[in-house]
Structure 1
Amino acid sequence: MMIKAIFFDIDGTLVSFKTHKIPESTIQALHTLKAKGIKLFIATGRPPYDLKFLIDEFGDLFTGYITFNGQYCYDSTGKILHEEYLNREDLIQFTNYIKDKDIACGFMEIDYFYFNLYNDRLAKLKETLGDTAPDRAFDDVSRVSNHKTYQLNIFLNEDEEQEVLPYLPNCKAVRWCPYFTDIIPKDGGKGTGIKKVLAYYGIDINEAMAFGDGGNDVEMLEAVKYGIAMGNANENLKQIADFITLDVDNDGVAYALKQYNVL
């Protein structure tokens, strides 16, 4: 088995929800993989400007980044490999719908992330992410009319999200935590981003591996030959995974790599 590329989700995969840190075993594994010539990629729902803590710690360890759940992919030099943003008519329709409702929503532009309002659900997420949760601005949602918006974070549970999806007909919902759902283009996703990145580097899917833990990682694991679900992953992801490893806090990344003889 020849692995040439490995894709890693961040929250719940590289970074523990309990400690808000990357386990030492994972850090060592990443450096070992890089030394072997394996290309390492981040595949996250986070925007590019939320990855500063990774770059500060690892420098150019990662060959590239898949951000906004696949909507904006770029290499370590900043070269754009793939880009797709949300339908503006959908966004205008959706913002009109939530105008008088207590629905917190994050709007992600390429270099700006703002919310329409602050509520208890937003506060709970900040508590969950700890020090890795950046501060956010609050702004007028009319920005969607003249700024590219790559992703939304709508703070609703799974049942409630069904009420807003009709206002976003060209979009779909993917979820990695119970507090909110990510809204991305219907033809988007981490799987789409991975396919674009692999094609750019001339790497076959049979030479690729991916690690994830959330519902937004399903397409990512399906896009590669070796899809690894963390032990702390949700059940939907475990059902489609090729291998279920240990929890992130129990050295799950390193354990799976050893099981596949990559380490």
Structure 2
Amino acid sequence: MTYKIAFFDIDGTLVNEEKQIPQDTIEAIAELKRSGVEAVIATGRAPYFFKSLAEQLGIESYVSLNGGYVVYKGKAIYSRPIPREQVESLVNHAAKHKHTLVFEGASDFSSNNAEDTFMLDAVGSLKVDLPKYDPDFWRTEDVYQVFLHNEADHEHLYMNAVPGLRYIRWHPTAMDVLPTESSKAEGINAMLRLLNIKHEEAVAFGDGLNDKEMLEVVGLGIAMGNSHEDLKPYADYITTHVDEGGIVNGLKYAQLIE
């Protein structure tokens, strides 16, 4: 199979635990692009969380916010915000349990508690700027994803609290909240339709629980060696650790670089 497009998760895939891109990954992405294959970021992060990384890799296209907001070469091609009434229900429910929320729009993000230690720990781990304080952000801006800050033993409080929402833990003190049907696969579908590329002509790399649908929807799903163990059964191939040539070896397996 000749693959025409490759999708890359960021955390644990393009970057390591120090949030640095390994040099061999930078070189592999450059070689991939020279061969004419589309290189696309596919992440749970919002665009403002990975702007410098995309510039460093020379990538202009991305599936962001777990499929909710998709851009091809600088132009938005797909947008699916969370219905405002669902955000309001989540706000009210989280307030009952004193859990902080971070609202993520396409171009900015805000928190309803700027001092929460769970929020500071989780967002700080991304090595990005902290959100501004604006508890009413969701009333006027489209929200594509919400960070819900709690620990695992409080997850059960939300599982059936707001119909139409689902939750994916990405940090000991944080979960992504997104529409039930939203996933990276949804955003990938939008891009493949635009480019008239078949699913079997696409490759995807990931390491986390929010990469399951993405690895399943493409022709070749590659899990990093450092992947969450529950993701690996969804992969067609398991490459090496992000710091041990994971991207290079995966692209070589797909015969996309030499």
Task: Note the aligned Cα RMSD (angstroms).
Answer: 1.6
Indicate yes or no: 2:130 matched with 1:135: yes
Secondary structure of 2:160's aligned partner: helix
CA distance in 1 between counterparts of 2:44 and 2:132 reads 18
Note closer, same or farther for the CA distance 1:227–1:238 as it changes in structure 2 (3 Å cut): same
* 8 Å Cα contact 1:87/1:170 also seen in 2: no
Indicate yes or no: 2:110 matched with 1:114: yes
Letter in 2 for 1:13: T
**Uncovered stretches (5+) of structure 2, i.e. residues with no partner:** none
Indicate yes or no: 2:232 matched with 1:238: yes
Note closer, same or farther for the CA distance 1:54–1:226 as it changes in structure 2 (3 Å cut): same
Aligned with 2:59 (options 59, 62, 65):
62
Note closer, same or farther for the CA distance 1:126–1:217 as it changes in structure 2 (3 Å cut): same
- State the TM-score, normalized to the length of structure 1: 0.91
The Cα shift of 1:80 comes to 1.6
Indicate yes or no: 2:67 matched with 1:73: no
Between the two proteins, what is the percent identity of the paired residues? 34
1:207-261: CA deviation from partner (whole Å, max 9, x where unpaired): 1000001111111111101111111110111111111111111111111112232
The Cα shift of 1:198 comes to 0.6
Secondary structure of 2:143's aligned partner: coil
Give the equivalent residue in structure 1 for 2:159: 165
* 8 Å Cα contact 2:54/2:60 also seen in 1: no
Secondary structure of 2:231's aligned partner: helix
Give the equivalent residue in structure 2 for 1:10: 10
* 8 Å Cα contact 2:43/2:64 also seen in 1: yes
Secondary structure of 1:167's aligned partner: coil
Letter in 2 for 1:4: K
Query: How many pairs are equivalent?
Result: 256
* 8 Å Cα contact 1:43/1:66 also seen in 2: yes
Aligned with 1:97 (options 93, 96, 101):
93
Aligned with 2:185 (options 184, 191, 196):
191
The Cα shift of 1:176 comes to 3.3
Give the equivalent residue in structure 2 for 1:217: 211
1:44-67: CA deviation from partner (whole Å, max 9, x where unpaired): 111112222124323xx3251111
* 8 Å Cα contact 1:13/1:212 also seen in 2: yes
Note closer, same or farther for the CA distance 1:244–1:55 as it changes in structure 2 (3 Å cut): closer
* 8 Å Cα contact 2:103/2:137 also seen in 1: no
Deviates more, 1:103-112 or 1:175-184: 175-184
* 8 Å Cα contact 2:91/2:101 also seen in 1: no
1:22-43: CA deviation from partner (whole Å, max 9, x where unpaired): 0011000000000000001001
Letter in 1 for 2:191: V
